[in-house]
Structure 1
Amino acid sequence: MSSRANIGPATAKQITLPKPMSQRDTRLDVLRALALIMIFINHVPGQIFEFMTSKNFGFSDGAEAFVLISGISVGLAYGTRFSPGNRLSVAWKAVRRAFTLYTAHMITTFVTLVLFISGAWIFQQKGLLCEVNILALLMDPAGGIPALLTLGHQIGYNNILPMYAALFLMLPLIMLLEARSPLLLLLVSAGVWLVSGIYYIAPHTTLLEGFWFLNPLSWQFLFVIGFAACMHVKKGGRISAHPALIALAAVYVFVSFVWVTDKLWVLGDYLAMLGLPTVITGFDKTFLSLPRLLHVLALAYLIVSVPAISQFLRRTAHHPLTILGRHSLNIFVAGTILAMAGQVLLYVTNKSPVVGAIYVVIGVTAQFLYAYHLENRRLQAAGQRSAKIPEGAATMVAPVAKRP
């Protein structure tokens, strides 16, 4: 942030423009990249790498990590800009982002349809038409196409972006509540999460009976927690690294690890006997049950509070994981398309473990290469913008650029 002090002619040349990328917290990019890789691997089920992702070692998985990180990132990108006189502009940007996500979802959805239908025709594997919720669409195309366009029907493994787009539509209200009171925002968000989970309030699907796979009314709570935490730090607060809380988080992560690896799901029946709602005692992903929510928050607290973990994740701006995470939406779209192609390949090869493993390695490598391509384009565009700056202007901070 630039100084509030007046800049006189004698001192203007001594002040240089800030370098936003050098100030970027690369931990978010690295964690986002790891979440994207795990989501891709999990979306190509039936190969050996799937058993190495985080979902096999705790209650939450890459989706929870991605949404929490997104909430933090939105706080960095939008939070302080949402000020009186600028609120409509920032709200409109959030809405535009939601439509960008909707467009990305439509791209992955229709490419998925092409891949599975083409695979069924080319390889004479009609069973592909029964995969990932495609059959209902083919049996009723007149109702199915409108359902796809209105998000009333979602293809399997193509259900994160609709929830994410809905969160951006909620963002103006989220920012408005945070501006009034962060505590009020958290209480309202928690209330919506709890009521939605107890009474099963969620967007309904229209082509098939049911709900969206990821209910935005539930997942907004995790998003809001990330957003509120980011805004708290940006306003001068800090997240206290209390030894008791660190120990509690570590114990919870360990219990979750033992629970999942030893398959102690029968213990969930004893929790159900307490008579509490399943959103409190269950492990449902659609309504983001409490054990899943607490697990990702415990992991996040350990990352923030334990210096060794935090420093390990802090990589340079040119690290491959940093670059991959920096271009998250493009990589997510590419990863989803690659995953759908991988599912077709595994289906026609009877889930060959060798083919699956090789394909995942190739798919992850392709995503890194694509990320480097996007990064080169970004740097070239930045270089062209810099070349257009008049000589001498790059060493000054123009008065209009100053912000409090």
Structure 2
Amino acid sequence: MQQRQARDARLDLFKGVALLIIFINHVGGNPLAKLMPARFGPSDSAEIFVFISGYAIALAYGPVLAERGFAACQRKALGRCRQLWTANIMTLLVSALVVALAVHVGDLPMEASNRLESFGPLFDTPVTAMAWHLVLMYLPFAFDILALYILLVALAPLFLWTYARFGYAAVALSLVLYLVAQAMPGLIPPNLWDEDWNFSPLAWQCVFFLGTSLALVVRSGRVRLPRSGWLLAGSLTLLVGMALWKFAASDIGHALTPTALQGWLPEQSIPWADKDTLGPMRLLHFLALACAVALLVPRDAGWLRSAPAGLLIACGRHSLPVFCVGVVLSIAGTAVLLAERSSVTVLAVNLAGIAVLLAMAMVLERRRTRRQRAKQAPSLVSSPTPSQPGAALPETP
């Protein structure tokens, strides 16, 4: 019987960071989004979320496959998909209510933001839109990543079974599918609102199952990430180089560079870095980022037990409700900034949204802790006494 690997706090912490960044980026017209990591390289919080989700899948479902077989593992995955699917529908309906209030009560034009405009099909043809949404083919703004997650969770048991039977051949197959997505970028599911998904499942399954594979390798103990100064230096060099490249190709970079030197600047940003197909440079940037973080942040780092880290860890541990509420708050924040865009309003939208997400995560974490303590509490069990053969005394802790 396989032992379940102890939970790595770094996974929940960086997943929590990714969720807060996703919220900030999803607020339309948010100046703070220009300071997020995506402005300093081709990859962003989406890769972090998908990679860590793949890692967590291996820890949750790998032991089920080993102990109870493929059928039980697939049932567990489909049960999780049902939860995600339900959350997807409920988030859509609540977000649509926010949009309706913004448009009909706040008198905001729906065309003022693609966040609001993406809900147009739901108001124009609600039955058709909901039917397409149920099969994940109508996805308003920000709903693509949850649909991708549903699909990948459903496929995870098959990958785990293939890895258990054929080892690294499963990883090789994932890489082949990734290359197919690069060669044929049009292989993306349709979307009633925006032509197709923003994430190609054929491409993004690669980063998801790379996370799954890493978790399986770490659990087996066969391979460890080398604590190499050269590896860290190479990763940091690549990250800094791509950040400088992206800055040099930007309008700000051209404006700050003397005219005599502008001929040396790149005319275009980093190539092969499309988000929908997870371009090779984007994937390389994320892998360098993951490697650098793994080397710089040890698993037993003391600051991971601090209060601020605890807030982020709670966010990552309760990622589904945090993400769903974050989507609703980002739609509401977009409407607020459309109505009044001042520095005070921008600050209030961001701080209020982050505060709500952190507070909700802490409430959910405390409830989870109380449930765990209740399960671990010693029960009163009887033991036989001389006078009553069937009677029992309380069991000592």
The two structures have a TM-score, normalised by structure 2, of 0.84
Per-residue deviation, residues 77-115 of structure 1 (Å, max 9, x unmatched): 122331264321112111111121111111221212111
Quick one: distance in 1 between partners of 2:130 and 2:100? 15
Q: 117, 124, 148: which is aligned to 1:139?
A: 124
**Which residue of the other structure, out of 316, 323, 340, is the alignment partner of 2:314?**
323
Query: How far apart, in 1, do the equivalents of 2:396 and 2:42 lie?
Result: 50
Assess, with a 3 A threshold, how the Cα gap between structure 1 residues 308 and 24 changes in structure 2: closer, same or farther: closer
Q: Residue 367 of structure 1 aligns with which residue?
A: 357
Looking at structure 2, the residues matched to 215 and 24 of structure 1 have their Cα atoms a distance apart, in angstroms, of 30
Report the counterpart of residue 187 of structure 1 in structure 2: 172
Is 1:112 the counterpart of 2:98? The answer is no
Which of 332, 335, 340 is the equivalent residue of 1:344?
335
The amino acid across from 2:332 in the alignment is A
Looking at structure 1, the residues matched to 320 and 96 of structure 2 have their Cα atoms a distance apart, in angstroms, of 20
Name 2:13's counterpart in structure 1.
Answer: 30
**Are the counterparts in 1 of residues 9 and 299 from structure 2 also a CA contact under 8 Å?**
no
Q: Is contact 1:48-1:353 (8 Å) kept?
A: no
Structure 1's unaligned 5+ residue stretches are 4-19, 272-280, 396-404
Letter in 2 for 1:252: L
The answer for unaligned runs of 5 or more in structure 2 is: 252-264, 382-393
d(CA) in 2 for partners of 1:216, 1:129: 30
C-alpha displacement at 1:140, in angstroms? 3.3
State whether residues 47 and 353 of structure 1, in contact with CA within 8 Å, keep that contact through their aligned partners in structure 2: no
1:27·1:313 contact (CA, 8 Å) conserved in 2? no
Pair 1:382 & 2:372 matched: yes
What is aligned with 2:288? 298
* Structure 2: distance between partners of 1:64 and 1:155: 20
Q: Secondary structure at the match of 1:83?
A: helix
Partner-residue secondary structure (3-state), 1:282: coil
One-letter amino acid matched to 2:317: R
Aligned to 2:52: 69
Is 1:353 matched up with 2:343?
Answer: yes
Matched to 2:83, the amino acid is T
Whole-Å separation in 1 of the counterparts to 2:354 and 2:83: 24
Is the 2:249–2:266 Cα contact (8 Å) retained in structure 1? no
Q: Would you say 1:311 and 2:301 are equivalent positions?
A: yes
Distance 2:365 2:315 in 1: 9
Q: Which residue of 2 aligns with 1:240?
A: 226
Which residue type is aligned with residue 161 of structure 1?
Answer: L
Give the match for residue 262 of structure 1.
248
Note the alpha carbon deviations across 1:243-275, whole angstroms, 9 max, x for none.
43322211111112112233359848698xxxx
Shift in CA distance, 390/182, structure 1 to aligned 2, threshold 3 Å = farther
Q: What SS class does the counterpart of residue 314 from structure 1 fall into?
A: helix
In the alignment, what sits opposite 2:41? 58
Aligned partner of 1:150 among 120, 135, 143 = 135
Deviation at 1:343, TM superposition (A): 1.0
The answer to whether the Cα contact below 8 Å between 2:133 and 2:139 also exists between their aligned partners in 1 is: yes
Q: 1:247 to 1:152 in 2, by over 3 A?
A: same
In structure 1, the partner of 2:86 is 103
1:271-325 residue CA offsets vs partner (Å, 9 max, x unmatched): 8xxxxxxxxx422111111111111111111122235798376335982222222
Backbone CA RMSD of aligned residues? 2.8
Give the AA of the match of 1:284. D
Q: For the residues of structure 1 that align with 2:73 and 2:166, how far apart are their CA atoms?
A: 19
Cα pair distance change 1:264/1:394, threshold 3 Å:
farther
Secondary structure of 1:319's aligned partner = helix
How far is the alpha carbon of 1:135 from its aligned partner? 2.3
Indicate the SS of the match to 1:100: helix
Q: Which amino acid aligns with 1:365?
A: A
Question: How far 1:363 sits from its partner (Å)?
Answer: 0.8
Give the Cα separation in 1 of the matches to 2:135 and 2:286: 31
Shift of 1:388: 6.2
8 Å Cα contact 1:38-1:53 kept in structure 2: yes
- Once residues 102 and 306 of structure 1 are traced to their aligned partners in structure 2, the CA distance between those partners, rounded to angstroms, is 36
Correspondence for 1:160: 145
Amino acid at match of 2:89: M
Q: Is the 8 A contact 2:25 2:33 kept in 1?
A: yes
Distance 1:69 1:241 in 2: 21
Identical counterparts, % of pairs = 27
CA deviations 1:20-70 (Å, max 9, x no partner) are 99x421111111111111011101132332122111111111111111111
Letter in 1 for 2:93: F
Deviation at 1:209, TM superposition (A): 6.5
Q: Per the alignment, do residues 353 and 127 of structure 1 end up closer, same or farther by CA in structure 2, a change over 3 Å counting? A: farther
2:172 pairs with 1:196: no
The answer to whether residue 45 in structure 2 is matched with residue 45 in structure 1 is: no
Q: Deviations over 1:317-344 (max 9, x none)?
A: 9822222221111111111111111111
Q: Which residue of 2 aligns with 1:172?
A: 157
| TM-score using structure 1 length | 0.83
Letter matched to residue 34 of structure 2: F
Other structure's SS at 1:46 match: coil
Pick aligned residue for 1:289 from 259, 268, 279: 279
**The 10-residue stretch of structure 1 (92-101 or 242-251) with the greater mean CA deviation from structure 2:** 242-251
What is the aligned partner in structure 2 of residue 89 from structure 1?
72
